[in-house]
Copies of this chain bind each other. A is one copy, B any other.
Amino acid sequence: MDHLIAITKALADENRVRALGALREQSLCVCQIVELLELAPSTVSKHLAILRQAGLVTSRKEGRWIYFALPESEHASDVTPTLTWLFAQLDASPQYAADRKRLQAILKQDPVDLCQRQNRS
């Protein structure tokens, strides 16, 4: 039950759900999610930590960047139904469609530039 509630609590925030939607297609580094959600890096970091604790995302360090991704189906059979349900719900959401579009533009930019702009402000 504790694990189930950890999952539902993790999903009970619009920004975290949007982050999961963004990770549906590809893994992303923190600065790309910051750019999408338009929140402070520290805030996004906390959100991602909550998702990771619930087992909904994994993270992998690559040099100075940390990439977040959805767990591999083989290793996370327990959260797969959850994500399947969530994405089915998201497919009906205009917000999700808008995020997908914006994400395409973000992915075209150099992550280095993204991070530096985020540091500046």
A67 smallest CB distance to B (angstroms): 25
> Which of B8, B9, B17, B81 contacts A4 (CB under 8 A)?
B17
Tell whether A88 is near chain B: CB-to-CB under 8 Å.
yes
A1 near B93 with CB under 8 A, answer yes
Copies in the complex: 2
Cα(A12)–Cα(B3), bound, Å: 11
Chain A count of residues within 8 A CB distance of the other chain: 21
Nearest Cβ on chain B to A112's Cβ, whole angstroms: 31
Which chain B positions have C-beta within 8 A of A94?
Answer: 1
* A53 CB-CB contact with B under 8 Å: no
Taking Cβ atoms with an 8 Å cutoff, the residues of A that contact B are 1, 4-5, 7-9, 11-14, 17, 81-82, 85, 88-90, 93-96
